[in-house]
């Protein structure tokens, strides 16, 4: 390109390119929403949106589709996994930033990040061959026999102790989302200015007080962002969960027994769904999953804004 | 220089003629290893290339209806409604070409039990309905005298993904058990009353192996290759039959083979036949000119010849890969159907 043309057009071309690509992403997102809605319309129309959400039977033979069992499965497993993952993730981040000697910092952070890079089918295989027998022999069977002897009322809540089921899925899911929560928390903690800590120490605070009163409050927005990212990951995780959760849409769910999530249900039934209504119901489940992800993000954005407002007031 | 365009055109024509014919198909995953073998051998023999995408039977049927493929492949025959819809939409018949037979083996994990267990269809249905809860249940013991059955709880394992295997298995249970027909019915994905779901044959087999007291079902090919113990089933003639290539082929030797080859082999009346067997089919348009995927008569001819080869010479590749061969009666019916294939009314095979 000749110099004068470059001077006159270069910047415009560049901004056009940037805007175009950015808009492309937005358009792709909208197109996904549109296609999912279009594809799921038949099912949403047949059962009604609320009827589809609350229907508790999923029976392809009779053409009855209700998304409540997989919806409940997704919410339960994600919430439980997030609960289990939060404190280890935060602890790992604190360890790396506050406690670890310089030589260890990099190695520990690297290993935690590596957890995020493992393909989820590897988690699934590890779950089947290592975690499931362990959970069955060391957790489920002892608990089950104890409950059978001392608290028969609990049995209905525990379910069959086969190792395959909700508990194993939650444990693997928790492990999978730790690095997401941890990485963002780590970055946020590292950004806390050293002067803040020093000021606190100067006042005679203990390490625990410094972390609790200064470091974590200062970094809370970043920590929360990590939680949201981890939750989004848990909501959509498919392969490992499908391999471990036992895939049953029969309510009520039990702690040890099989369950299903929205993503696992789609992965299971999509390829062989010949019937139009069945296919449409599966796409509608995808649409619902998208709405849930959207709702999670909106709530997260709102909470984050309130958090930063709070920072301003301080 | 005037001759240049002419030469270029000639060159392009030469390229077009020399380019190998390519056929595209999509569908069932179960026969994929066999089809891969067929198509590789056939390409060496004739130069005709076949792209086969094993996207699942449902997808295969969908692609066939959408006319994006030359042939579809399915583990289940099209329903009467689908056949009628096909005829109405495309003004031609859909032709089912059986290529091989598969069977579903009932596998279990019972520590300490060596001899193959015996089951009747009714008992199997009760187990999968969750009504028989322990292995030392009198109903199981009655069929298996002399076997020391442990007092383990029964853990049912089924396929979680939609599959032809599930279709065949549940169709069998629905045929032999009114309670199953009433409560569950049959299909590629059903609403299971109990049990754990594993994804794919490997998922089910993995869970069965991991769980003492588990019972599940997998493709016979898979059970044979992985040496998982399986049960003998009582067939309609009253014999207990283990699944094997011979008993599966026997299941299909029907005297009244339907002319459209859409036949269910479950609960077969054949005396030596294993009761949970099934064909797998390739589906094509009878008048291939009605399928927009075909660009020329040459392609249609190539497909017709390929199908002819599969049901004759190609059958030699079935048994080494653990798929049963077509019985003679199925080959004869299919020959007749293949001769009826046309391109715009002109027969493709002579």
Q: How far is the alpha carbon of A60 from chain B, nearest alpha carbon, in Å?
A: 6
Chain B residues near residue A246 by CB distance under 8 angstroms:
160, 196-197
CB B55 within 8 A of CB B66: no
Distance CA B100, CA B91 (A): 28
Q: Which of B27-41, B228-242, B246-260, B303-317 has the lowest mean pLDDT?
A: B246-260
Mutation pick from B189, B208, B280 vs chain A, by most beta carbons of A within 10 Å, is: B189
What's the pLDDT at B189? Answer: 86
**Nearest beta carbon to residue B58 from set A243, A246, A273:** A273
Give how far the C-alpha of residue B229 lies from the chain's centroid of Cα atoms, to the nearest Å: 22
Across the A/B interface, how many CB contacts are shorter than 8 Å? 103
Which residues of chain B make contact with A274, given a CB cutoff of 8 A? 57-58, 61-62, 188
Task: Pick A246's closest partner by Cβ from B185, B196, B206.
Answer: B196
Q: For residue B210, give the nearest of A128, A242, A248 by CB distance.
A: A128
Judge whether residue A154 has pLDDT over 90: no
Contact B191 A242 (CB under 8 A): no
Percent of chain A with pLDDT over 90: 29
User: Are the beta carbons of A272 and B161 separated by less than 8 Å?
Assistant: yes
The whole-model pTM stands at: 0.82
Write the pLDDT tens digit of every residue in B142-198.
Answer: 888 888 888 888 999 999 888 888 888 999 999 999 999 988 888 888 889 988 888
Chain A nearest-CA distance from B29, in A, is 10
Measured distance CA(A206)–CA(B348) in Å, rounded = 89
State the pLDDT confidence band at B5, using cuts at 50, 70 and 90: low
Domains annotated for chain A, with CATH where assigned, are: 2-313 (1.10.3720.10)
Q: Do you know the residue count of chain A?
A: 314
Decide: B167 and B76 in contact? Cβ < 8 Å. yes
d(CA B14, CA A92): 67
Give the rounded distance of the alpha carbon of B296 from its chain centre.
30
In whole angstroms, what is the distance from residue B25 CA to residue B127 CA? 38
Note the pLDDT tens digit of each residue in A197-211. 888 889 988 888 888
Query: What average pLDDT does the segment A209-236 reach?
Result: 88
pLDDT for B1 equals 43
Residue A266: closest CA among chain B residues belongs to which residue?
B161
Q: Do residues B303 and B285 lie in contact, with contact meaning Cβ atoms separated by under 8 Å?
A: no
The 3-state DSSP class for residue A79 equals helix
Decide: B239 and B268 in contact? Cβ < 8 Å. no
Q: How many CB atoms lie within 10 A of CB A182?
A: 30
- DSSP annotation of B75 reads S
Sign of the torsion formed by the C-alpha atoms of B222, B225, B230 and B233: positive
Indicate yes or no: CB of A62 within 8 angstroms of CB of B185. yes
pLDDT for A90-143, tens place per residue?
999 998 888 888 888 888 888 888 888 888 889 988 998 899 889 888 888 888
DSSP state of B155: E
Average pLDDT over residues B281-294: 91
- List the beta strands (DSSP E) in A137-291: none
ipTM surpassing 0.85 = no
CB contact A59 to B (< 8 Å): yes
Q: Using only C-alpha atoms, what is the Rg of chain B?
A: 23
CB B51 within 8 A of CB B23: yes
Query: Helix, strand, coil: what percent of chain B each, to 5?
Result: 40, 20, 40
Report the first-to-last Cα separation within chain B, whole angstroms.
47
Report d(CA B243, CA B254) in Å as an integer.
18
Phi, psi of B111 (to 5 degrees): -60, 135
Distance from CA of A257 to the nearest CA of B (A): 8
Q: Has residue B261 got a pLDDT over 70?
A: yes
């Amino acid at each position: 390109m000749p110099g004068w043309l470059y001077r006159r057009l270069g910047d415009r071309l560049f901004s056009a390119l940037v805007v175009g690509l950015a808009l492309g992403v937005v358009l792709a997102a909208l197109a996904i929403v549109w296609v999912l809605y279009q594809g799921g319309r038949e099912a949403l129309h047949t059962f009604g949106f609320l009827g589809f959400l609350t229907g508790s039977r999923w029976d392809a033979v009779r053409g009855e589709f209700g998304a409540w069992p997989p919806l409940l499965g997704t919410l339960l497993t994600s919430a439980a996994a997030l609960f289990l993952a939060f404190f280890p993730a935060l602890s790992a981040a604190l360890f790396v930033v506050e406690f670890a000697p310089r030589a260890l910092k990099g190695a520990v952070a690297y290993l935690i990040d590596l957890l995020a890079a493992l393909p989820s089918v590897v988690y699934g295989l590890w779950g089947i061959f290592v975690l499931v027998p362990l959970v069955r022999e060391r957790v489920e069977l002892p608990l089950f026999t104890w409950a059978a002897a001392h608290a028969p009322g609990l049995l209905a809540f525990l379910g069959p102790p086969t190792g395959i089921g909700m508990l194993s899925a939650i444990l693997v899911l928790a492990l999978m989302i730790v690095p997401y929560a941890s990485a963002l928390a780590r970055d946020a903690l590292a950004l806390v200015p050293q002067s803040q800590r020093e000021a606190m120490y100067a006042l005679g605070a203990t390490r625990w007080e410094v972390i609790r009163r200064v470091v974590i409050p200062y970094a809370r927005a970043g920590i929360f962002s990590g939680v949201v990212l981890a939750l989004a990951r848990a909501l959509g995780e498919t392969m490992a969960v499908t391999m471990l959760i036992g895939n049953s849409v029969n309510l009520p769910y039990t702690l040890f027994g099989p369950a299903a999530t929205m993503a696992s249900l789609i992965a299971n039934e999509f390829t062989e769904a010949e019937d139009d209504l069945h296919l449409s119901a599966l796409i509608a489940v995808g649409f619902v999953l998208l709405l849930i992800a959207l709702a999670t993000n909106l709530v997260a954005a709102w909470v984050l804004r309130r958090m930063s407002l709070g920072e301003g007031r301080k | 220089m005037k001759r240049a365009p002419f030469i270029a055109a000639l060159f392009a024509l030469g390229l077009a003629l020399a380019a190998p014919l390519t056929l595209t198909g999509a569908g069932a995953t179960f026969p994929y290893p066999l089809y891969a073998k067929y198509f590789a051998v056939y390409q060496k023999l004739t130069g005709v290339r076949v792209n086969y995408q094993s996207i699942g039977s449902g997808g295969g049927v969908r692609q066939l209806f959408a006319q994006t493929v030359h042939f579809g492949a399915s583990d289940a025959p099209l329903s009467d409604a689908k056949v009628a819809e096909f005829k109405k939409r495309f003004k031609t018949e859909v032709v089912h070409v059986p290529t091989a037979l598969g069977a579903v083996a009932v596998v279990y994990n019972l520590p300490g039990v060596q001899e193959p267990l015996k089951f009747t269809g009714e008992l199997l249905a009760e187990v999968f309905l969750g009504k028989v809860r322990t292995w030392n249940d009198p109903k199981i013991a009655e069929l298996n005298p002399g076997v020391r059955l442990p007092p383990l709880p029964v853990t049912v394992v089924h396929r979680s993904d939609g599959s032809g295997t599930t279709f065949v298995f549940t169709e069998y249970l629905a045929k032999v058990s009114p309670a199953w027909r009433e409560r569950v019915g049959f299909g590629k994905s059903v609403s299971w009353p109990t049990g754990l779901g594993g994804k794919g044959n490997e998922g089910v087999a993995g869970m069965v192996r991991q769980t003492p007291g588990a019972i599940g079902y997998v493709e016979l090919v898979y059970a044979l290759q992985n040496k998982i113990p399986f049960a003998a089933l009582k067939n309609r003639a009253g014999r207990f039959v283990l699944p094997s290539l011979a008993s599966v082929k026997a299941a299909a030797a029907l005297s009244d083979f339907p002319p459209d080859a859409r036949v269910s082999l479950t609960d077969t009346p054949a005396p030596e036949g294993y009761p949970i067997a099934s064909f797998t089919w390739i589906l094509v348009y009878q008048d291939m000119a009605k399928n927009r995927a075909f660009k020329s008569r040459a392609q249609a001819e190539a497909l017709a010849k390929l199908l002819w080869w599969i049901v004759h010479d190609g059958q030699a590749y079935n048994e080494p890969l653990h798929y049963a061969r077509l019985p003679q009666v199925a080959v004869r019916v299919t020959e007749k159907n293949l001769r009826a294939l046309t391109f715009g009314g002109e027969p493709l095979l002579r």
